[in-house]
Amino acid sequence: MLLHIIARGKIGRSPEAELVDRYARRLTMPFRITELPDRGGKLPPAPPGTVTVMLDEKGRQLSSIDFARRIEGWRDSGKRECRFLIGAADGFDDAERDNADLLIAFGAMTWPHMMARAMLAEQLWRACSILAGHPYHREG
């Protein structure tokens, strides 16, 4: 299953971009990042069997284990792609939220899109590590 981050805004050459790259290189599942302009620009076409996860302040707060189990369930049920949408400064409207399969939040605070992208890349790597039984992640 392809893990696909689709983010508004350009991350450029920044410390956050280095973090995203560091975690992307460690992923054991196929991975892609698509950047869209802050406004406009269309999402790439979604192949059949795509799950859409939106990072949104109104989303659920999942533990890393719960996040990994969601990815595992989608992967094992034959989903071809899991898209993670990161919005621009104004976030998403209600119609966009309604089209998502899952809304998640990294806490109640608002995060800049560059930080959200780095945190998401880390959580995707952590989820792959959890699913592989790697001892790095500890619950406690």
CB atoms within 10 A of CB 24: 16
Residue 109 marked as a ligand binder: yes
Residue 111 marked as a ligand binder: yes
Residue 110 marked as a ligand binder: yes
Residue 7 marked as a ligand binder: no
Residue 55 marked as a ligand binder: yes
Cα–Cα nearest to 6, from 87, 107, 76, 69: 87
CB atoms within 10 A of CB 59: 16
Cα–Cα nearest to 113, from 57, 72, 73: 57
Residue 131 marked as a ligand binder: no
DSSP symbol at 57: E
Tokens of 20: 């995203």
Residue 92 marked as a ligand binder: no
Known binding-site residues equal 55, 87, 106-111
- Which residues line the annotated binding site for S-adenosyl-L-methionine? 55, 87, 106-111
